Structure 1
Amino acid sequence: MQYDVILPAAGSGKRMAAGKNKLFLELRQKPILIHTLEVFQQDEACKGIWLAVKPEERSYIESLLAEFHITKVKGLPDGGSERQHSVNACVKKVKDGNIVLVHDAARPFITIPIIHKLVEAAHTKGAAIAGVRAKDTMKRVKDGVIEETVDRSSLWMIQTPQAFDFQVLKCAEQRAEEEHFLGTDEAMLVERLGQSVYIVESSYENVKITTKEDLVFGEAILSQRIGG
């Protein structure tokens, strides 16, 4: 089943403290953004990529797309000050969507089999998100004091992609915009509609490159996957 994917790429990456968009940092001589885009470029089920960008970075990103032969990008609308605004800008550009994924541009290690499981789940159930089971002991803390130990058997660490029936996502984004509600992710907006969101088990390798330490993890994952 075919799908479109939205990648918000207009963030500041303050925690990376790189002095530039972290998506332009390189792993194995290739920008993180391109590593991510290549996954969807290579997936025959992906019919279009929508990339929300900063206006001042658009020309550079266009040059990267040309250099690395990324041909599936259908549009590069202006991103917003918040992730949700960037996603909404792309949703407004998608005209004929069926299943739409939202994926962190800084998660370059997602795999096509997991993507396809999410697409199928969104097709049959309306909404599905990637996640992994919590491995560590979880504590609820208030004012620096542990209040309780939380049963981790029901806790999941949420990743992306998050996959939705397009009309469900569009309705959720419209309602949030009208009510000036800012959520932590797209699933939260969909949950506000009363729509159930299902979990698809992902991989612990599907890390988001956020800090300098994550670059080390990223190099290690690439070394394992391609050798060297």
Structure 2
Amino acid sequence: MGKVNALILAGGKGKRMNKSISKQFLTIQEKPVLYYTLDKFDSCSRVDEIYLVLPEDEIEYFKEYILGKYRFNKPIHIVKGGKERQHSVYNGLIAMDNCDVVLIHDGARPFINEELINEGIESTFLYGAAAPGVKLKDTIKIVDNNGFSKTTLNRDELVAIQTPQCFKYSIILEGHNYIRENKITVTDDTMVVELLDYNVYIYDGSYNNIKITTPEDLKIAETII
């Protein structure tokens, strides 16, 4: 079907954690968050290679405490991160060779599973771009600058987008070249291809596929695992 690469972004400093160590290196049952994430993609037969984007000052730490400690079967290529997330994605994309589909995933989402990975790959070959999402449990309101409610959004039309966000390589590279040339800031990669009028297929995600961001998330992670 073509070559599939995983692009794992592990640049989060975890300021909301109030920890001296980056959140992807915090441990759940004595193993780093990033280990669990890498292990899921390493175990998936549909993924050929893994590209891991890290801040330059954390590369040696990763090599010593994860790469040197745990065994992985697939090649893990380490890429130096950029100033912002989108710069890190671009660095990862241009480091790849001979890729058909790329799965862009948060390093701090350790509970991704093989089913979500495979569905993302299959949907991407069909539609060109895909991402998992879950229905919102809460009512969402738009508020004004004074804190008063202006309107209530239709919850049935809203989803919270997760990762991996999956793309045909040529499409996502075209998108990142476009935002670089036009100095556009984005918050995720589905926005990148939407700017070029590509449609993104949203498939069912998992409420367990959480991103470790706050101390409370680590407690939830202990329960999930």
Which TM-score applies when normalising by structure 2? 0.96
* Correspondence for 2:182: 179
Residue 211 of structure 1 aligns with which residue? 214
| Residue in structure 2 matched with residue 225 of structure 1 by the alignment | none
Displacement, 1:39?
A: 0.2
1:147 paired with 2:123, answer no
1:81 to 75, 80, 83: 83
Q: Deviations over 1:165-187 (max 9, x none)?
A: 00001100111111111101010
Residues 122, 163 of structure 1: 8 Å contact kept: yes
Provide the secondary structure at the position in 1 that maps to 2:164: strand
Alignment match, 1:23:
24
Deviation at 1:62, TM superposition (A): 1.5
CA displacement at 1:134 relative to structure 2: 1.0
Q: CA deviation at 1:70?
A: 2.3
- Which deviates more, 175-184 or 28-37? 175-184
Partner of 1:13: 14
* Selected match of 2:133 from 131, 135, 141: 131
**Structure 1 CA distance for aligned equivalents of residues 70 and 91 of structure 2:** 25
Find the counterpart in structure 2 of residue 33 from structure 1: 34
Which amino acid is the alignment partner of residue 192 of structure 2? Answer: L
Farther off after superposition, 109-118 or 8-17: 8-17
Give matches, 1:43-54, under 5 Å.
43-54=44-55
The count of aligned residue pairs is 222
* Partner deviation per Cα, 1:89-146 (whole Å, 9 max, x = no partner): 0000111111100000000001101111111111110000111011111111112000
Cα offset, 1:45, TM superposition: 1.1
Name the residue aligned to 1:117.
119
Q: 1:140, 1:149 within 8 Å by CA — same for their partners in 2?
A: yes
Matched, 1:199 2:169: no
**Runs (4+) of structure 1 moved beyond 2 Å?**
70-74
- Distance in 2, matches of 1:73 and 1:217, equals 31
Q: Note the alpha carbon deviations across 1:163-215, whole angstroms, 9 max, x for none.
A: 00000011001111111111010100110111011101111000000000000
User: What SS does the aligned partner of 1:183 have?
Assistant: coil
The 1-side partners of 2:96 and 2:60 are apart by: 22
**What is the Cα deviation at residue 74 of structure 1?**
3.7
Greater mean deviation of Cα atoms: 68-77 or 118-127 = 68-77
**Distance in structure 2 (CA, Å) of the matches to 1:175 and 1:73:** 29
Q: Cα RMSD over matched residues?
A: 1.1
Contact 1:65-1:71 within 8 A present in 2 as well: no
What TM-score results when the alignment is normalised by the length of structure 1? 0.94
Percent identity over the alignment is 37
Residue 108 of structure 2 is aligned with which of 106, 115, 134?
106
Q: What corresponds to 1:226 in structure 2?
A: none
- Of residues 172, 194, 205, the one that matches 1:169 is 172
Following superposition, the deviation at residue 65 of structure 1 comes to 1.2
Q: Which residue pairs with 1:3 in the alignment?
A: 4
Letter in structure 1 aligned against 2:48: K
Structure 1, unpaired ranges of 5+ = 223-228
